[in-house]
A and B are shown apart, each in its own frame.
Chain A
Amino acid sequence: MSVVPATPQGKTSFKEVDPKTPTVSRVASTSAVQSSPHYGTTRRHSLYGVEDRVIIDAGSRIWKVGFSGEGRPRDVFYAGGADEVPLWNLTRPADAAEKAEQERILEVKLETCLRSVFHDSLLTDPKARKVILVEHPLLPLYIKDMIARILFDNLQVPSVSFASSHLLSLLAVGRITGLVVDCGHLESVALPIFAARPLFPHLRTTPLAGARLTSHLRALLLLFGTYLPPPTSLSAAANIPAANRSTRVPQEVLTDAVVEEIKARCCFVGDGLGPSNNDTRDITPGDESSEIDLPPSDSTQSESDFSLAGRDSNFSSHRASSEFSIISNPRVPAVDNHRGEGHLQALATLYQRHSTATELQMRVVPPPSQQTGTGRGTLIIPGWVRERGAEVLFEGGDVDEGSLAEVILDSLLKVPVDLRKTLASSILVVGGTAMLPGFIPRLQHELLRAVAPPQTPSRPSSRPDRPDRPPLPQYDPYASLRPLLPYFAILNNPSPPAATTARAGANAGKAPAFSPATMAWVGGSLTGSLKTGGVEVNREQWDSADAANRDGDGNADISVEVERVQIVLPDWTRSPLPAGAPSALSNPQLMSSPTRMASPQVPVGA
């Protein structure tokens, strides 16, 4: 039976991609749902049933898979195998041959993963199972095509539905309106959703996410961590004090697996750095922070508004050379250039003063070149690295790398004015990186800090180069959001602050206690059990389009083929935008909702 979106709004019908087939499936689904309205409610109507769909939440690193109607995924695994190599990242090679080769490898890996999902994790027959693919809004289209091709051609699944991960996360907390921030491995993406319609044009993203945290953590540990090699003999361990054995951290020790383990088991996010530093801000914002990797333009100033690192750069001038650890001199890492090191030193001084976390010891495998001792080496992780490593996510870089709070606020700025209050009071934070203890309370703090009125500048703000001109107005991008200040509420904030408004109080921390990392999967399971789910592509559509691809031109032109495949696969980036400025709210193409709710006329922002 066809269990295409029970709610017949189906994105397909509006996307004008193929007006014929979706209409047919839409009508069929409607009648099916109506004939048995309780179909979805009774799960145990069949013991052998295969109507539970397979939910696949495929990330670049971690995949979560399971059956719909269940509260937790059946299996979670690293897609890249034991060495945890991400399947894809943000860059693609420019060279055509290299790109083709990389795509071939990716396809092979995806095929391995998808086959193992059905054969190893779920032990089910792919030919009998419909699939809901939890898709990230910025998942590259070629990867989406690839996944669909493998599912249809290699595994021969009957249908694949695509559902936006942000929307699914929102459903998992029982809502259809909210501002969802997904802090994953490669990117953090903020997407406002109103009445189950993702407002894709207002999406904002930043590469400050798990991968950046990993590299930052590695840099911090190389510079400030301590490594004790294994003692050369068992008796030597007792004789030589640890301080004499301590060395710098060899790079080989910090494998990806070790850093990921530190991230998962040792790191947390401390409270905001407090206003005590505010007196030092804006004094010398330019010197070192602009030296790091910021363009020496006015973005430096904007950065200094939110970045504590730049603000505190003056501390680095009078810091003692070594008080961080028992290392007598700070090491010069092989990879970091000196500018980066100076920046990290400045960070260290600042963060050390703001951390009370304990120092931890961890057993690590010694590098192969030093494998002379007995047993494992010891890595000493300073407490402030554990607590403040994630600060990198809350400090904006340049304009392309806004902090997490800035991403949320930028997205909010794009949203029509009369939706802002609703969205600001229902922020949902999901994704694996958000699993860090203290992450969500800290994000709330950062949001308030960014919107709070700026400090009066401590220096005369007349331009030094043009003293005749009036002083520049202070850079204050979020002034228009300031009235929303009491309404900011994160739905899944585990420790919400005392609410100042009834709205914030009713929302903050009221989400069900699903873990942020699995929320999208839970939402997918929910839509699967409600017999909805996103836009569905079934086998017949795929096969007919595929046959057209094959027959159409014998010369097997790749570009033509890709274009043909695109006809089949729905994606929000493929929906034609109206001419001029896209006003997404009045645009029915953006409905990918499983629940076509009311709100017949969504007011367009003034």
Chain B
Amino acid sequence: MPPTVDYHCPCLSRTTVPPPPHLPSSSHSFHALHTLFFCEECDAVRCNRCVSVEVSGYYCPNCLFEVPSASVRAEKNRCARNCFMCPNCRNTLSVVPSDPPDPGDGRLTIPISTIGEPPFFLYCNHCRWDSAEVGITFEKPTGLAAQLQKFEDSAPDSLEFERLKEHFEPVIRASSLSSSTSTAPAAHPSSAAHSHRRTNSITAAASAALARDIPGVSKYNPLARSGRGGSSKDKTANRDEMPEYRSRLDISSASSLGTGGGDADVDSMRHLENVSEVANLEQRWVNSWATSLQTADLKPLRIPLHSKRSKRCPACAHILIKPEQKAQSVRYKIKLVAANYLPAITAALPHQQEAANPDAVKRTLGKSTTVAADDDRATAGMHAGKTYPFHLALTNPLYDPIQVRLTVQRVHAPAPASGRASPEKARRPPFAVSLPSASFPIAAFAEAWEYEDDEDDDMFGLDDDDEFGIAGRVAGREKDTRGKIKTVGVLEKKANVTVVGGEVVIGKEARGNVKFNMLVSYTYRSDDPTPSESNDAEGTVSKAAASKPPETKTFAFYTVVDLGPIIPREEPRVESDF
């Protein structure tokens, strides 16, 4: 895995200092640059965990139809047209006509209509499932969802649900009425008259079938103990004074139809011959009603809609990204992504590149591929107790040159106040990172043709600062160069990219990954006459900065650099031949 650089978003903690990188939870605070946004008002990085999301439009991912939000609600976030998914493989189903009727004389019939013969059914091109297996056919090949709608409206769960609502509604209305008449909520409505009045309102509201139970209730006296001797009239039967609910379809009659986990299901499970006959959990779990276990009974699924989302800054509610309305479009009306504001950083390990490049040499040795791969691993990995150089390439997205300063957060240094600190401190940090401490410039971003002339100047301009910088660069590029070379410092400047070299010294007992937090702070001059072709984003930043007295503005952000795993010293082979 190549080394990675991720950017910190402080939304998960209250401090701006990122968590120590060795904690597994820290990975959630860091994000790849291309997933981040930048709020100009707050001058802060925002990530997908903290932005507030709004739906700006619904569409079906299959037919790309933009669904108005009114029908989104009515159709339960599903496509209301012709889009269905296979219940077995979740592939999109297609509508196919039936075979034309055989005229009997052996000749091919001429199709009467271009759309084919009814009945139509849904067919899966992947697993060959078709909806005729479960008895779903259509008269015409369009508006399938509307044709299925009547079945869905009469689904047993929704009917039973409505019945439950009718059952509870009068009770709740009655109780809210009676308790609004009773004055203090703390006062116990203890009088029998009170409960009598309440049951009266129940009686008034309940249907005739439910009212049958009411006389027994009204006679109920809470002070009388129930006779436990099994009297013919069981007085404990309706203790809670709730009218009895009669189900539309109860579980015992449903299970006699072969659903709901009753004896019929047990019997079919006992004689099961093939696992695939039983639908798996994901295919069944949305059904709130007792359903058949059989795969053969699964119904086609309507395709869930997707939404186009615009995202806002959680603090100031300014829009960070807003897509175009049309489902077919992939463009954005507003797009404030962090990649336009923060320098992009890529990390590289030169010794890995060397190991990867001259593969021609290895091929001539005639080794098998697995040995070569092991070899690659051994050379490309970082062994404990050694020192490795690494390169960080910073790319400036701004139209102004910037001055960048890199600071490595000390490994394990800002130990949290909790108990972890002492054992960590007792151990020596597994590796040490050195980076150039001075700030260095990165040229402004410009169009490609503008770089042609001054590229050489940039390269030679380095000579003054650090003559070893060039040596390091040469070492990175031409592997023949050997000898003591300095690797820490600015190695290369080209256009708006500056490569700096760093060095990591790995301790002898080190394990895990070489992973460290790095504070990047960059200063840009905000009073520069902005070029006419600068985008409005840049203009806003400089305007915001110009309102303040200093002419330069500094922005700092944390990153985590992961250079890859350390190969422990003791048993280097254990890892390679796991």
Chain B residues near A502 (CB-CB < 8 A): 234
Which of B179, B222, B252 is the one whose CB lies under 8 Å from A596?
A: B179
**Which residues of chain B from 208 to 249 have a CB within 8 Å of any chain A CB?**
222-223, 225-226, 228, 234, 236-237, 239-242, 245-249
The reply to whether A62 and B157 form a contact with Cβ atoms under 8 Å apart is no
Q: How far is the CB of B76 from chain A (nearest CB, A)?
A: 6
Tell me the residues in window 517-544 of chain B with beta carbons closer than 8 Å to chain A beta carbons.
Answer: none
**Whose C-beta in chain B lies nearest to the C-beta of A511?**
B251
Assess A418 versus B226: contact at CB under 8 Å? Given A111-B49, A526-B164: yes
Task: Name the residue of chain B whose CB is nearest to the CB of A434.
Answer: B261
Per the 8 Å Cβ criterion, residues 168-182 of B in contact with A are 168-169, 171-173, 175-177, 179-180
Q: Residues 161-177 of chain A: 1 if any B CB is under 8 Å from the residue's CB, otherwise 0?
A: 00000000001111111
The answer to the question of B545 belonging to the interface, with a C-beta cut-off of 8 Å to chain A, is no
* Chain B interface residues toward A at CB < 8 A: 12, 14, 19, 23-25, 28, 49-50, 52-55, 58, 69-70, 72-74, 76-77, 155-158, 160-161, 164-165, 167-169, 171-173, 175-177, 179-180, 185-186, 188-191, 194-195, 198-199, 222-223, 225-226, 228, 234, 236-237, 239-242, 245-255, 259-263, 265-266, 269-275, 278-281, 285-291, 293, 305-307, 309, 314, 416, 418-420
Given contacts A71-B289, A177-B240, A598-B240, 5 further A-B contacts (CB under 8 A): A71-B160, A72-B158, A269-B266, A386-B272, A438-B261
Q: How far is the CB of A481 from chain B (nearest CB, A)?
A: 13
In contact, B168 and A171 (Cβ under 8 angstroms): yes
Kindly supply a per-residue 1/0 record for chain A positions 121-155, scoring 1 wherever the CB is within 8 Å of any chain B CB and 0 otherwise: 01111110000000000000000000000000011
- A600 contact from B50, B189, B314, Cβ within 8 A: B189
Residue contact B290 to A387, C-beta cutoff 8 Å: no
A397 in contact (CB, < 8 A): no
Known contacts A30-B180, A174-B164; A265/B278 CB under 8 A? yes
Q: Please name the residue on chain A nearest to B290 by beta carbon.
A: A513
What is the distance, in angstroms, from A31's C-beta to the closest C-beta of chain B? 8
CA of A265 to CA of B279, assembled, Å: 7
| 8 Å CB interface, A1-20 against B | 6-9, 13-14
The 4 closest A-B pairs by CB, nearest first: A174-B245, A509-B252, A494-B262, A494-B255
Contact of A304 with B by CB under 8 A: no
CA distance A272 to B241 in the complex (A): 36
14 residue pairs bridging A and B, Cβ less than 8 Å apart: A47-B74, A101-B25, A123-B77, A177-B242, A357-B269, A422-B237, A494-B252, A494-B260, A495-B262, A510-B247, A513-B251, A515-B260, A515-B288, A517-B285
Q: Are A119 and B309 in contact (CB under 8 A)?
A: yes
The distance in angstroms between the C-alpha atoms of A154 and B314, with both chains bound, is 8
Q: Looking across the interface, which residue of chain A has its beta carbon closest to that of B26?
A: A104
If A71-B157, A72-B287, A513-B260 touch, whether A13 touches B171 (CB-CB below 8 Å) is no
A437 and B293 form a contact (CB under 8 A): yes
- Knowing A176-B240, A603-B222 are in contact, say whether A532-B172 is a contact too (CB < 8 A): yes
Give chain A residues whose Cβ lies under 8 Å from the Cβ of B19: 104
B172 to A594, Cβ gap below 8 A?
Answer: yes
Contact B272 A358 (CB under 8 A): yes
Q: Is A306 among interface residues, defined by CB-CB distance under 8 A?
A: no
Contacts of B25 in A (CB 8 A): 101, 104-105, 108
Chain B, Cβ-Cβ closest to A419: B239
A266 interface neighbour in B54, B265, B275, B305, Cβ under 8 Å:
B275
Known: A37-B173, A119-B53, A525-B161. A261 touches B280 (CB 8 A): yes
A276 within 8 Å of B (CB atoms): no
Inter-subunit contact A600/B190 (CB<8 Å): yes
Check A515–B180 contact: CB distance below 8 A: no
Measured CB to CB, the closest approach of chain A to B84, in angstroms, equals 17
**B165 to A529, Cβ gap below 8 A?**
yes
- The answer to whether A48 and B70 have CB atoms under 8 Å apart is yes
Residues of chain A with a CB closer than 8 A to B69's CB: 48
B493 CB, min distance to chain A CBs, angstroms: 39
Residues of A with C-beta under 8 A to B172: 6-7, 530, 532, 594-595
- Residue among A107, A155, A361, A596 having the largest count of chain B Cβ atoms under 10 Å: A596
Q: Are B270 and A595 in contact (CB under 8 A)?
A: no
Q: For B54, what are the chain A residues with a Cβ–Cβ distance below 8 Å? A: 125
Q: Are B222 and A72 in contact (CB under 8 A)?
A: no
- B55–A124 CB distance below 8 A: yes
Given contacts A71-B288, A270-B270, A422-B239, contact A441 B247 (CB under 8 A): no
Smallest distance from the beta carbon of A75 to chain B beta carbons, Å?
7
A437 lies within 8 A of B252 (CB): no
Which of A92-100, A226-234, A308-316, A455-463 sits within the interface? A92-100
Q: Are B155 and A71 in contact, CB atoms less than 8 angstroms apart?
A: yes
Cβ contacts under 8 Å, A437 to chain B: 261-262, 265-266, 269, 293
Contact call B72/A70, Cβ cutoff below 8 A: no
Q: Are B52 and A512 in contact (CB under 8 A)?
A: no
Across chains A and B, the number of contacting residue pairs, with CB separation under 8 Å, is 341
Please name all residues of chain A whose beta carbon is closer than 8 Å to the beta carbon of B190 when the two chains form the complex.
Answer: 600-601
Report yes or no: A175 in contact with B242, Cβ–Cβ below 8 A.
yes
**A80 contacts the other chain (Cβ, under 8 Å)?**
no
Q: How far is B269's CA from A118's CA once the two chains are assembled, in angstroms?
A: 37
For B228, list chain A residues within 8 Å (CB). Answer: 418, 421, 483
Contact of B419 among A96, A111, A171, A594 (CB under 8 A): A96
Q: Verify B50–A154 contact, CB threshold 8 A.
A: yes
With beta carbons under 8 angstroms apart, the residue of A40, A49, A436, A521 that contacts B169 is A40
Highest count of chain A CB atoms <10 Å: which of B69, B250, B420: B250
Q: Which residue of A lies closest to B247 (CB)?
A: A512
A418 vs B73: C-alpha distance when bound (angstroms): 48
A445 adjacent to chain B (CB < 8 Å): no
CB pair A100 B418 closer than 8 Å:
yes
> Closest CB-CB distance, A48 to chain B, in whole Å?
6
- Decide: A597 near B225, CB < 8 A? Known: A73-B286, A268-B270: no
Contact A9 B185 (CB under 8 A): yes
**Chain B residues closer than 8 Å to A264, beta-carbon distance:** 278, 280-281
Give complex CA distance A200, B435 in Å. 61
Chain A residue nearest to B29 (CB atoms) is: A108
The residues of B that contact A122 with a CB separation of less than 8 Å are 77
Q: CA of A111 to CA of B314 in the docked complex: distance in angstroms? A: 15
- A603 to B239 alpha-carbon distance, docked (Å): 10
Known A437-B293, A522-B288: A512·B168 in contact at CB below 8 Å: no
Q: Which of A318-376 contact B (CB under 8 A)?
A: 356-358, 360-362
A503 sits at the interface (CB 8 A)? yes
Report yes or no: B158 in contact with A71, Cβ–Cβ below 8 A. Answer: yes
The residue of chain A having its C-beta at the shortest distance from the C-beta of B243 within the complex is A174
- B-contacting residues, A81-113, CB 8 Å: 95-97, 100-101, 104-105, 107-108, 111-112
Tell me whether A482 is interfacial, beta carbon within 8 Å: no
Instruction: From the candidates A71, A105, A362, name the one contacting B275 in the complex (CB within 8 A).
Output: A362
In the complex, A596 Cα to B167 Cα: how many Å? 15
Chain B residue, CB-CB nearest to A355 = B270
B564 to chain A, nearest CB (A): 22
